[in-house]
Structure 1
Amino acid sequence: MPEGHVLHRIARLHQRVYAGQALTVTSPQGRFAAEAVDGRVLVKAEAHGKHLLHVYGPDAIVHVHLGLYGKFAEHEPPVTEPVGQVRMRIVGERNWTDLRGPAACEVLTLDGVAALRARLGPDPLRRDAKPAEALARVRRSKQPLATLLMDQKVVAGIGNIYRAELLFRHGLDPMKQGSAVDEELWAAMWPDLVALMRDGVKAGRIDTVRPAHLPEVTGRAPREDRHGGEVYVYRRAGQPCLVCGTPVAHAVLAARNLYWCPTCQRG
C-alpha cells in the first residue's frame, strides 16, 4: 500500500495540472457517482495521510483511498478509449488521468470529510499537524510502538517502511510500549519523520540512510529492491546491519512484517 508521501505527490501533481479548471469527470466502470462533479471547477487537491481529496466545493469532495491495488495513470493528449476497469477518469485542458482499483472513490460533503479527518491522526506532511495529539494517543496505549506507528488513528501516512526505519534511526526496540514514550523522545522522532517524508515527496522514493552509511561512502553495493531507496532494515532480514553488522531480524506483528536490528535497537 502506498505510504503518505505518495498521496502528497499525487495531490501536488493534480493541484498543478487541474486546479482552477472545469473538469470532465466520468466513471467508465460505472462504480463512481461522477455526475456529482462532472463539469465543475477543481478548487484544490490535497492529501491527509493515505487519503487524497479533490475539492470541487463544500458539497462535492472526491475522496480516494488507493488501498493495496489502486493506481493513478497520468497522461497527455490525445485522450484514448478506456482500457480495463477505470473507476474514475479526469480530463482537463492539457492532461487526463485514469484511476483503477482503489479501495475507495466517493463523493463527500464537508461533514463527510470532517468525519474522515476525525478518524485520522496528525499527518507529518501537513502544516496543520499537531504532534502533541499523536503523542497523547501513543502514551495512552501499552501496545508496542511498532504497532502504534502503523495505526492511522495515531499518525496518518506512516506505512511499513517509515515505521521500521524511524524506529531504527532512534535506536528503539519495536516492542517498547507506547506509554513509555516521553516528550523528549517524541520531540526527536517527529521532526525526523517529517524530514524523511518530505524527502520522499521530493524524490518519489523512501531514503532513510544517513550520509555516513551510503554505498558511495562505505563501498557496499547499492540496494536493489522494487521499492527503491536506501534503507537500514526494511526488507533486509538476515542481511548485516549497515551500522553494526548484526543480521537484521524479522517477525510478523499485527499481520505486518517487522524488521529491526537486535543490537542497535535496544533502547
Structure 2
Amino acid sequence: MENDISTRQRVIMDYIREQGSVQVDQLADHLEVTPQTIRRDLNQLYDLELVQRVRGGAVIKNTVENLGYGARKTLMADEKTEIARITAGIISNNSSLYINLGTTTERVAEFLTGHSSILVITNNINVASILWPLRNIEVMIAGGMIRQSDGGIVGPATEEFINRFKPDYAVIGCSALDYSGEILDYDLREVRVTQAIIRQARTVILVTDSMKLERSAPVKVGTLSDIDIMVTDDGISAEFFDLCQQHTVDLKIAQSAAI
C-alpha cells in the first residue's frame, strides 16, 4: 500500500514515525509547503489507512506495537504536564503509592518532589531516578526484567514484589482506552504487573491524555470499574465523560486554558 504514495508523503510518514504525532502547521514548516498541501497529503494517507487522524494533525496508524519511548515523551507533552500537576495534588503527605510505567506517570513523579514523608513503590527506573535523591521521599524499586525500550521492570518477580504491599494510592497509565470502558496496553508482562497494582492499591488513579481514545492496543488491563479517579485533558468526548459516570469514576479534567 505504501507503494501508492508520493515521495513527499513518504517523508511525511517517516517524520510522523519519528515524532509520534504531528500537527499540520508543524509539517508545513518542516517541508516548506503550504498547510493546504499538507492537508491534501494527509487526507490521502487517511484514506489509505496509513496514518490516523487526530486533532489538527496525525499519528501513525495503530499497530500491535507501541510508539517508541522518545516519541511518547513528546506526544501531548503539555497536556501530560497539567495532568501530572493535578494528580500530584491528589496525593497527600505521609502516604504510600505505586507508580507504574509510562511517560505521564513519570511526569507525576516530577511533581511529587515537594511532598513530604511519602513512600513510592515503582517498577519504573525513570521514576526511581527522579525521586531517589530526595530526602523527603522513600523509594522502593521492584525486581524483575528491565525492558530496554523504556526502563520498565516486568515479569513474575515484579508481580511478586508488588503483591507484598497495600499502598494508599496507585498512579497508573495505559496505552489506549476503548469506548466499551476497557483499558488496554501492549505488553502482557506489563499488563500483569499493572493488574497486580490495581488489586493491591486502596485508591487507583488512571492518568491518560485524550489521544489514548484514538488509539487501540491488543491486551486488556481491566475496565473503568477498576478505576477510582481518572485525570485527563479536556479533549475527552462527551460520550466518554458519560461512560466514566456510568462506571462511577471521579473524572478530573486538565483545562486547556491552564496548559
TM-score category, normalised to shorter length: under 0.3
Please state which structure has a larger fraction of its residues in helix. 2
Larger Rg over CA atoms = 1
**TM-score between the two structures when normalised by the length of structure 2:** 0.28
Please state which structure has a larger fraction of its residues in strand. 2
**TM-score between the two structures when normalised by the length of structure 1:** 0.27
